[in-house]
Amino acid sequence: MDNSLKISGMEKSFWKSLLFSLPMILITFMFITGGRPNFSDPYEAIALLSVFLLVNILFFLMHFSGKTDRYRAVLFILFAFSLSYTLIRNMLEIRHSMSFSQADLLECKIPFCHLVIPMMILPAAFTKSIIFPGSIISGFANISSMVVLWITATIVLGRGFCSWGCFYGGWDDGFSRVRKKPVIKKINSLWKWMPFAVLLMVALSAALTMLPTYCDWLCPFKTVTEFEKVTSVESAAKAGVFLTLFGGLVVVLPVMTRKRTQCSFLCPLGAVNSLSNKITPFTVKIDKTACTQCFKCVEACPLYALTKEDVNAGKVSVFCSKCGKCVDACSKKAIHYGIKGIPAGTMKSFSRNLFLFVSFLFMAIFSSGAIISTLQNLLKLIF
Amino acid sequence: MTDSLILGLSSGSACLATCGMVMFPYLMAGSAGVKRIAVDLSLFLATRFIIYFILATLAWYFGQAIFTNSLVRNIVPGILYIVFAVMLVWYSIGSGKKPGCPARIVTTVNNRRFVPVLLGLVNSLGFCPALFIILTKGATQGTLSQSYLAFLTFFIGSSVWFLPLPLAGKIHKREVIKNIGILATGLAGIIFMIKGLTNLIGGIVNG
């Protein structure tokens, strides 16, 4: 009797999840295939179909299992690795090198990346100039499309952009999952203000020099995208900084701490996105009446966004990226996705479903191109 | 001059974090409104400006006397940058006991008229690693006017933080500003460490 009830409950849940996934299936089909699927190239067809299935199975499982982070992370990490793979492959094909030359800079051939945005604001406001050597409206990763995408995503998701849209975040997210238990458990909470210090420095220095100083000197992801050709002691020092930051903050520390240390301690865009958490309608709420203060959520948070004091006060900090790890860790469902204005502990399902639909759809559309291209290329290489 | 401004901006924020709360009551206590506050603050900043002007001149003349050839001009400042940058990082985020605000001495002075001037004097001569770095920079500039420019940008960068002093009482997130200031100083230290290394290696490689 119990078993049959359980099976019928699961069946009901299955159909409910499938129904919930239908709009996602239709929209992602339109975006991934462009509305007119072309199966003339078998590799492309396999890649398209695989990504379409992957995206929708992940979304279905999120609803069916009630867990968020593990399924989000699959697509998020794949996105990061695929984008770097695609970029590097393109550069090797076109330039035969991962480094860019002065000519590439002068011809504005550098693909735009959202990390430049905090440095663009002051120079754009005062001089009406864009300080990045990329194309404004044409070509791959042009400035206007990336800025519009970022603004839209940030207004809607707040710092959720860092866990649902950033094509670099998957790197340290991936490495933070390598070990089951952290080697380094405690880090001084002072460090979580570092992205604001970096933001202050790079925004002002960019305004003064009219150069994207973060990209020039600090971006660890230059290691897995493109960098200035090493022709002098200065460019060698820059390459050294990129490699050190990538090795330290994207690989070693995430493995040792099980936290996303690059996102927590360096990224200036993360600081801007943290501020945007104040305006987004979506948030993570703590139902103090249901909370048993086990603090598993604090331990789970990959961005040092949640402290015991926050839990006791019943609210998460502005650093929250809405990845869902804390929500999954709470057995009492005391911490949950919420909408501002709706009290904690109420409309949990509705809030989660609405947030997941918006955030996952954004990630699915944004990431699918890079993943399809990577898969297609890998299939060609293998067969 | 960007690095001088960055150094000023970052060390200014940390300076305000450590000294602001000591200086604020003495600059503002008993003041009769905005005019008095503006006069006190102007005296304080003017004193700092004069001291930096003198330091820029002295640093450049000493630099001319000491750094006589191009090899020394690259290698010695490179080493100095690294040493002072390490000190700056340690000073800002080191676990050791942090030095107190040098302006605390002024709190013993009774004559209130001289307090802003004395505060400016003590604040600008409070030998911290950031000042050592800017002294090194001033000493290695090609011309005296370049040395002045380095100190001027350092002065502007560090002074920006003192301008909101009259509003200090209304700032709620003082702890957050202090934390960001401390980290920005550490970051400036790292920037100068890299600059020092680049100078040093460049000096050795290029002879």
pLDDT confidence band for A183 (50 / 70 / 90): very high
Question: DSSP state, A179?
Answer: S
In this complex, do B202 and A204 lie within 8 Å of one another by their Cβ atoms? no
pLDDT above 90 (res A147): no
Nearest one of A54, A59, A52, A53 to A33, comparing CA atoms: A52
Residue B170, SS3?
helix
- Per-residue pLDDT for B196 more than 50? yes
Residue A200 has pLDDT above 70, yes or no: yes
Question: Which of A192, A205, A244, A245 is the mutation pick for testing B, counting most B CBs within 10 A?
Answer: A205
Q: Which residue of A186, A187, A189, A190 is the best one to mutate when testing the B interface, meaning the one whose CB has the most B CBs within 10 A? A: A190
In the predicted model, what is the mean pLDDT of residues A277-284? Answer: 93
Handedness of CA A93, A99, A102, A105 (dihedral sign): positive
Tell me which residue of A363, A376, A366 sits closest to A89, measured CA to CA.
A376
Mean residue pLDDT of chain B comes to 74
pLDDT above 90 for A267: yes
CA atoms of A84 and B20, how far apart (whole Å): 46
pLDDT computed for residue A266 by the predictor: 94
Cβ of B82 under 8 Å from any chain A Cβ? no
Angle at B104 between CA B5 and CA B51, to 5 degrees: 40
Set out the domains of chain A in order of their start, with CATH numbers: 1-67+349-383 (no CATH), 98-279 (no CATH), 281-346 (3.30.70.20)
Instruction: Please report the pLDDT score of residue B31 as a whole number.
Output: 47
- pLDDT of residue A243 exceeding 70: yes
Convert the pLDDT of each residue in A57-91 to its tens digit. 999 999 999 999 999 999 999 999 999 998 888 88
Q: Which of A47-51, B39-43, B67-71 has the lowest mean pLDDT?
A: B67-71
* DSSP β-bridge partners for residue A337: A284
The one-letter code for the residue type at A363 is M
pLDDT at residue A324 above 70?
yes
Beta strands A99-100 and A227-228, pairing class: parallel
Handedness of CA B189, A112, A46, A94 (dihedral sign): negative
Q: Is B93 on the interface with A (CB under 8 A)?
A: yes
The pLDDT score that the predictor gives to residue B190 is 82
* Highest mean pLDDT out of A108-122, A170-184, B89-103, B168-182: A170-184
Give residue B21's pLDDT.
Answer: 53
Residues of A with CB under 8 A from a CB of B: 190-191, 193-194, 196-198, 200-201, 204-205, 208-209, 217, 232-234, 237, 241
Q: Which residue has the higher pLDDT, B93 or A259?
A: A259
B21-47 per-position pLDDT tens digit: 556 555 555 444 666 777 777 888 898
Neighbours of A168 (CB within 10 A): 25
Structure tokens at A280: 């987004």
Q: What is the pLDDT of residue A120?
A: 80
Mean pLDDT of chain A: 88
Looking at residue A41, its pLDDT comes to: 86
CA distances from A174 to A4, A116, A177, A240, A259 (A): 39, 23, 6, 23, 10
- Going by pLDDT thresholds of 50, 70 and 90, the confidence category of residue B57 is very high
Res A38 pLDDT > 60: yes
Consecutive H or E run containing B96: none
Closest CA to A353 of A31, A16, A74: A16
Confidence at residue A289, expressed as pLDDT on a 0 to 100 scale:
92
From the list A193, A209, A237, the residue facing B183 with the nearest CB is A193
Chain centroid to CA A244: how far?
22
Phi, psi dihedrals of residue A227, rounded to the nearest 5° = -145, 170
Residue pLDDT, tens place only, A223-242: 888 777 888 888 888 889 99
Taking the model in full, what pTM does it have?
A: 0.81
The proportion of chain A whose per-residue pLDDT surpasses 90, expressed as a percent, equals 58
Question: Given a cut of 50, is residue A27 above it in pLDDT?
Answer: yes
- Residue A315, Cβ density class (10 Å: 0-12 exposed, 13-18 middle, ≥19 buried): middle
Q: Into how many domains does chain B fold?
A: 1
Query: Would you call B201 and A233 a contact, using CB atoms and an 8 Å cutoff?
Result: yes
CB A199, CB A268: distance < 8 Å? yes
Q: CB of B37 within 8 A of CB of B166?
A: yes
Domain assignment of residue B150, given as a range: 2-206
Under 8 Å CB pairs connecting chains A and B tally to 56
Question: Is residue B129 within 8 Å of B91, Cβ to Cβ?
Answer: yes
